[in-house]
Structure 1
Amino acid sequence: MITKTSKKPDIFLKKGQLVKGKWHRKHYHVIKKLGSGAIGAVYLCVHEKKKVALKISKQSTSISSEVNVLKSFQAVQGYHLGPSLIDVDDYQAHNGFTYSFYVMEYISGESLHDFMRNNNEEWLITLLIKFLNDLHVLHQQGYVFGDLKLENLIVSQKPTRLRWVDVGGTTLQGRAIKEYTEFYDRAYWQCGSRKADPGYDLFALAMVIIRVYYPNGFSKGNSPKKTLQQKINQAVQIEPLRKLLMMLVNQTIVRAEDVKQYLLQYFIHEKTRSDRRENQVTKNRQEAVYSYFEIGGILTIGALGYVYVTLFM
């Protein structure tokens, strides 16, 4: 027998629609749709004059799973692993079906691709160092982000940070990745399995960086790994970053902490080189000024001598 629940259709919310929680009785006014995935859709809403993000789905078990992930993140003191959880409830729709939803912090900002169009590659290194720290903490909690891609990341301001905004693909380590996007998927590029381990996220992170250089993506060709290597060599100018991407693609580095330390060493090295260049420029300027006064002094003495000889001899 087919039950009414098993035939539950997807839910679509319209601009201006009011979503009222069945149990907590809180009201959320829909502004616009932010995105959708395999589990459900996320909408920008207003609650008590404050913008929030509301995710709604016909799959109550999936919503419960994501809520548990967000609660687990909040239990980690001192870290902002994803958006803060605000509310969890059900919505009785006009079609007679009940849909589960949760409300989370709305993180405003811009996409990594848009941010990088106005900033240099040094900023990319800075964002990655901070993000890798969060990724390391996530892995320490026993999770893998899974569906790590540009669309699930945003560059927030004050402070400027790279943050994830959808935990729908988050999977316990050791299990099969439950949600992924082909371009960022390790198995799709024949570089490993689809098993949830830290290396899966780091491969996806490499693809996020590559996508910054190739906004429209590219096909994998007959030799996927060789295609990736060629694309990296063609686009990435910073040698340490190019080497890092190669290591991530080849899975010779599989810990977020190790990647962070690698980038920190690069950052420190470049800062030292920059300080040396600045010191050398300052030294050159000082020497130039000294030479100018020295020559000026000689010319002045010479000029005085010329006037003396002309007038008195």
Structure 2
Amino acid sequence: MMPQDISKSPVCNLAAGEEIRGKWNHLIYRIHRRLGYGATGAVYLADSIKGTVALKIGHDQMSITSEVNVLKRFSKVQGKVLGPSLINVDDWQTRSGTYPFYAMEYLKGETLFDFMRPKSSEWAGILLVQLLTDLHTLHQAGWAFGDLKPDNLLVTGPPYRIRWIDVGGTTVMDRSIKEYTEFFDRGYWGKGSRKAEPSYDLFSAGMVMVNLAYPSRFTKKSDPDRQMQDVRKNSPMLRPYADILEKAWNGKYRYAEEMRNELVLLLNEKDKRSVQQNKKPAVQKSAVQKQTRQSQKKKQKSFFVETFLVFTFVFVVYLFYMLGQTM
């Protein structure tokens, strides 16, 4: 949950063209625009001697240090690209105080909403599979993502890949979630505690898909369980995934891998049905073509028979005529 006055913080109101100079490494970053902000600070698009970067400036040293440690930990997960790569860590000295910051890889891509707009609903399931795969890796490393929401995710590619762009809410397992957004928080919906554990992230992952179906979101009613049943039932996008989303809502999955495996099985079954449905018109078309060929053969056979009879009749008439001449 973000403090209400966070947007008034100096770190959230840097203007385009303003320069940030590192106190220790003396590297200069020229601000382009703000990409977003949260409870721990703001993220800016900036130029540097190392190219375009995403610059996270905070107002709390411990929070920024924690995020830096997470990014370092991500870089050590062999064979997995989880969050953006860490480039530099430093402090920004101003008249009003000293603000910690770090530069990280700038990931170019689309928001989930922009990506999904022209796509079929199957893509929501594919992206969720990717997200669950990464969450399983993160959980195995001893962390929960915490503030999991579309704002903190990006789709890069092609090949299309979901990526994390803000790890500000990442929390060590079994501790209290340090940052969350109500719509994706099971505590807000009365479905569990704010303890960092796999089921917390899996609840949020399910709500990310719900948010894709309902971009404007909605508030909690008196009976959240009934409310969410109606939400899943009334959405063509969510209906195929209703059982999986209900399990995530009720905390039935212990590990991200469980939810992922069920989702992969569901998508495979949908693919098989789609292939079978696509084959039916081909089978029907083949049958029609066969009937057409048979009909054409019958017509040809009928034509030859009729032609033969006509020639036979003419020949017989001619034969009788010649016989009459000889007599």
Per the normalisation by structure 1, the TM-score is 0.92
In the aligned structure 2, how far is the partner of 1:69 from the partner of 1:56?
Answer: 16
Q: Distance in 2 between matches of 1:46 and 1:238?
A: 41
1:74-85 equivalent positions in 2, closer than 5 A: 74-85=75-86
**Which secondary structure state, in structure 2, belongs to the residue aligned with residue 203 of structure 1?**
helix
SS in 2 for 1:235: coil
Other-structure match for 1:16? 17
Q: Does residue 230 of the first structure (1) align with residue 233 of the second (2)?
A: no
Residues 1:276 and 2:276 are matched in the alignment: yes
For residues 96 and 129 of structure 2, what CA distance do their matches in structure 1 show? 48
Q: CA deviation at 1:247?
A: 1.0
Aligned to 2:323: none
* Aligned pairs (5 A) from 1:1-313: 10-11=10-11, 12-48=13-49, 50-93=51-94, 95=95, 97-236=97-236, 239-313=239-313
**3-state DSSP of counterpart to 2:65:** helix
Equivalent pair of 1:10/1:57 in contact (CA under 8 Å): no
Partner of 2:319: none
CA distance in structure 2 between the aligned counterparts of 1:296 and 1:77, rounded to whole angstroms: 66
Tell me by how many angstroms 1:143 deviates. 0.4
Looking at structure 2, the residues matched to 83 and 50 of structure 1 have their Cα atoms a distance apart, in angstroms, of 15
Could you list the runs of 5+ residues in structure 1 that have no partner in the other structure?
1-8
What corresponds to 1:4 in structure 2? Answer: none
Deviations 1:255-297 (A, max 9, x none): 2101110011112212222233334433333333233222212
How many residues matched?
Answer: 304
Higher Rg of the two aligned structures: 2
Q: Distance in 2 between matches of 1:61 and 1:10?
A: 18
Report % sequence identity: 41
Q: Distance in 1 between matches of 2:197 and 2:29?
A: 37
Following TM superposition, by how much is the alpha carbon of 1:240 offset from its aligned partner in structure 2, in angstroms? 4.1
* Alignment deviations for residues 77-104 of structure 1 (CA, whole Å, 9 cap, x no partner): 11111111111111123x2522110011
Post-superposition CA distance 1:27-81 (Å, at most 9, x none): 2111100011111000011223732100001211111110000000100011111
Local SS of the residue matching 2:234: helix
The 1:144–1:38 alpha-carbon spacing in structure 2 relative to 1, beyond 3 Å, is: same
Query: Would the aligned equivalents of 1:190 and 1:225 in 2 still touch at CA under 8 Å?
Result: no
After the TM superposition, which of the residue ranges 197-206 and 274-283 deviates more from structure 2?
Answer: 274-283
Distance 1:60 1:284, change over 3 A: same
Q: Unpaired segments of 5 or more residues in structure 2? A: 1-8, 314-327
Could you say what secondary structure the match of 2:206 adopts? helix
